[in-house]
Structure 1
């Protein structure tokens, strides 16, 4: 069952002729999906575009600072889009909302996209962006000792993979993952159902093929840089807040990742929204369920970055609806 507000939005889009290009192709997907969803503007005290210089390349980035005269914790945000599409603009409202609700700075990263830049390019960019933010802390007005990584879908994959790589780095205090892609095998039970919404199982498999065309099958599914669900979880990885949608082929791998983190002794809160669809957090300010999910996520980040470690677990009390 889909949340009625989301269903009404899907119905309106269907009536307007919304349909993904067939066959799927990077250029046509970008032309179709890199147009930001119309929605109310999100005001913030400071919003400025930056260029991250690293290893002979520059990555576009956007800094959201709710209190420019204060030094604040930082959330590094990686946008979704199957590693193929997505921009700073498509996720502008979500990033700005997180900054406003957490009272933390947010740095949104425009990492290199596939298939032009296949794995591990985006993963390398995520790590480079984190290192750059630490080195530029004074200029950015952020506290390099209080940082979180966050992302949705493919961006959640990059956030989780970066957090795993940086396990033991005390500056990385938390990871926020909205319906993350975590398992290149695409073999969990939720991949057997075709859910309505913005992501099908076939489409997700196609994204993996674009992201890592030369690393297929077991090789990709066992590489934690691409598949964070693979292999052991370090007990020193940053605590996590994971948001999952009931109508999403990625649901089960995210839930399995939460359970695996808990088994490793890592604090994790799984927020499950049975009426949600893949990508629903981007409807913040438009759909009440999205507002609820983003507010819960922002509260966890605020607690982790501003008030100390978040106390979370996978008991019934930590679940959402």
Structure 2
């Protein structure tokens, strides 16, 4: 189907990016300026700002219950953008629809913090959540959008390597799984080059802050699709977008997981581009992604 008309209308109204190199401080400030006041956000039973060791986290409790499963969420933003606030609405919707306690992680970002600082924070937050908020045998899912999806996949791999077997599910919304941006590697890099929000030519400069900090695209902690052995990883839900340059790498990762014996579901959202969970989940057919996630985590998808 064509690009959803509501998405097309919003994209058509966006100003051209300023000339010159990317300015992380200015881009972060512009993002934060769009965050609605707390009074206008989806209400939940409680929302608390805590620390997981030294890592800031925001814990969302959806309703009154004697016990909760956990979902640890990593926001997107090309490893240098995004925050607990810019993705607060995503975490709230995940909590409401899944019924799980959601732990959103304020990990350290590039370029101020070199690789693997952000990944280390995400993994540490999962271990902290399991030890302080979770219980044996309950759901402990990791989830993320875009670069947060990279972290979700990488954390699942680190946990397997460490023998930490508490993670029950991994959820990736349009993940960046291969940071080798050779345009001939995946057809979607050619098919969705321009006109859909995230453009293929923008992948290198947007990820340069992370790669220049020491993240090697050949390292499976950076590009999880490079992991040679995918056996033993937790069941996965991989959500892709029809008009995303990174669509095919997510779908390939799903196939590779299945070939390794991992239960994996790949769900492509038609008419959507990269970032639709963050920016366009107010559209009913895209808000459904939270319901699909809930069904996956309940084992009913």
Task: Decide: shared fold, TM above 0.5.
Answer: yes
> Is residue 2:19 matched to residue 1:22?
yes
Return closer, same or farther for 1:104/1:291 CA change in 2, 3 Å cut-off.
same
SS, match of residue 164 in structure 1: helix
- Aligned positions of 1:2-41 closer than 5 A: 2-11=3-12, 13-14=13-14, 18-23=15-20, 24-36=22-34, 41=41
SS, match of residue 245 in structure 2: coil
Q: How many residues align?
A: 290
Tell me the residue number matched to 1:50: 50
- Aligned positions of 1:112-151 closer than 5 A: 112-137=108-133, 142-143=134-135, 145=137, 146-151=139-144
2:177 to 177, 182, 207: 182
Question: Does the Cα contact within 8 Å between 1:195 and 1:248 map onto a contact in 2?
Answer: no
Please give the per-residue CA displacement for 1:234-292, whole angstroms capped at 9, x wherever unaligned.
21101100110111111111111111111111110001013111110124652123212
Shift of 1:44: 0.7
Runs of 4+ in 1 over 4 A off after TM superposition: 37-40
Q: Distance in 2 between matches of 1:46 and 1:250?
A: 35
Return closer, same or farther for 1:77/1:96 CA change in 2, 3 Å cut-off.
same
Shift of 1:180: 0.5
- Aligned positions of 1:221-260 closer than 5 A: 221-260=217-256
Shift of 1:152: 0.1
Question: Does the Cα contact within 8 Å between 1:126 and 1:158 map onto a contact in 2?
Answer: yes
SS, match of residue 25 in structure 2: helix
5+ long unaligned stretches in structure 1: 304-309, 312-321
Shift of 1:147: 0.3
Tell me the residue number matched to 2:165: 170
Question: Does the Cα contact within 8 Å between 1:243 and 1:272 map onto a contact in 2?
Answer: yes
Q: Distance in 2 between matches of 1:101 and 1:84?
A: 28
SS, match of residue 76 in structure 1: strand
Q: Distance in 1 between matches of 2:25 and 2:5?
A: 32
- Aligned positions of 1:217-296 closer than 5 A: 220-283=216-279, 286-296=282-292
Q: Distance in 2 between matches of 1:238 and 1:47?
A: 28
Shift of 1:214: 5.2
Return closer, same or farther for 1:183/1:128 CA change in 2, 3 Å cut-off.
same
5+ long unaligned stretches in structure 2: none
RMSD over aligned CA atoms reads 2.0
Q: Distance in 1 between matches of 2:277 and 2:118?
A: 22
Shift of 1:233: 3.4
SS, match of residue 85 in structure 2: coil
Shift of 1:171: 1.5
Shift of 1:190: 1.9
Tell me the residue number matched to 1:191: 189
Tell me the residue number matched to 1:111: 107
Tell me the residue number matched to 2:202: 203
TM-score normalized by structure 2? 0.89
Question: Does the Cα contact within 8 Å between 1:44 and 1:96 map onto a contact in 2?
Answer: yes
SS, match of residue 271 in structure 2: strand
**Greater per-residue strand proportion:** 1
Please give the per-residue CA displacement for 1:209-235, whole angstroms capped at 9, x wherever unaligned.
21021547xxx2221110000032321
Question: Does the Cα contact within 8 Å between 2:277 and 2:289 map onto a contact in 1?
Answer: yes
TM-score normalized by structure 1? 0.84
Q: Distance in 2 between matches of 1:197 and 1:36?
A: 21
Shift of 1:38: 5.3
> Is residue 2:212 matched to residue 1:213?
yes
Shift of 1:81: 0.5
